[in-house]
Amino acid sequence: MHNHFNGLKTAALFGAIFTLLLLVGYALGGSMFMWIFGLFGVGMTAYTYWNSDKLAIKAMRAVPADPQQFPQMYRIVQELSQRAHQPMPKLFVSPTAAPNAFATGRNPEHAAVCCTEGILQLLDERELRGVLGHELMHVYNRDILTGSVAGAIAGIISSVASIGLWFGGRDRNPIAAIAVALLAPVAAMVIQMAISRTREYDADEDGASLTGDPLALASALRKLETGVQNAPLEPTPELQNASHMMIANPFRARDVSTFFSTHPPMAERIARLEGMAGGPRLH
């Protein structure tokens, strides 16, 4: 799998975003600030990673899924977890009509999978199985760690670039300090978005391999693209921080430009899945 070398791309992007963090520290305060920012980045990343499940679940106002109320969801996740020889994650349902799903948690032993009421109503069982396979692979591929690191460091870069401008950066090199304060946050965001998109491709491919049915996920993504536009979420700060975990961008297309999108274009994801199947589309 991973025909598109996404693992290598992610490693390179991580190197780029951490290097950017160190350069911001050096440009604004010299070598001492560079290492202080580096250590601060590690600390904030650890906190975000450890609490990623609580933060995302809270943002979506999700509650534990009742096995009797959502037997289909339980049955599918239990089957796929056993197939992957992994522990059963906790299941949650978010009371929102916006169709979406996400997985979170620091490892398979502390994982959670959440579906919105909207996606449970929109998809048939085969399509839901494709979506849940995708979400489980985010857990198994340790994508929660990947997203937490990228998001935490990008946030730190944005904060320290602004703070550093007023505490010492202007005295060292005013032009460089202003340039860093303006450009570093944008560069960090672009790198974060690129990391998120590569992980979505991997989860699509590996999830389709887990279920053995790439056309089911392709069909689900096609429905989700329309469903999200009909029932989008408001891009609040809490939801923006959690949006990279979701299988589909939860906001209106006009609210998030393609350049800064955390998700690859749906048409490309669908085309790759159909290419895996080598057969006709699922209708």
DSSP structure class, residue 116: E
Q: % helix / strand / coil in the chain, to the nearest 5?
A: 70, 5, 20
Token pair recorded at residue 257: 């430009």
HSE-up of residue 5 (Cα within 13 Å, Cβ side): 5
Q: Which residue, 227, 282, 214, 277, is CA-closest to 97?
A: 227
DSSP structure class, residue 150: H
Give the CA distances from residue 109 to residues 45, 63, 105, 267, in Å, rounded to whole numbers and listed in that order: 20, 19, 8, 34
Catalytic (active site) residue 238: no
Q: Which candidate in 117, 125, 135, 268 is catalytic?
A: 135
CB of 35 within 8 A of CB of 174?
Answer: no
Catalytic residue set: 135
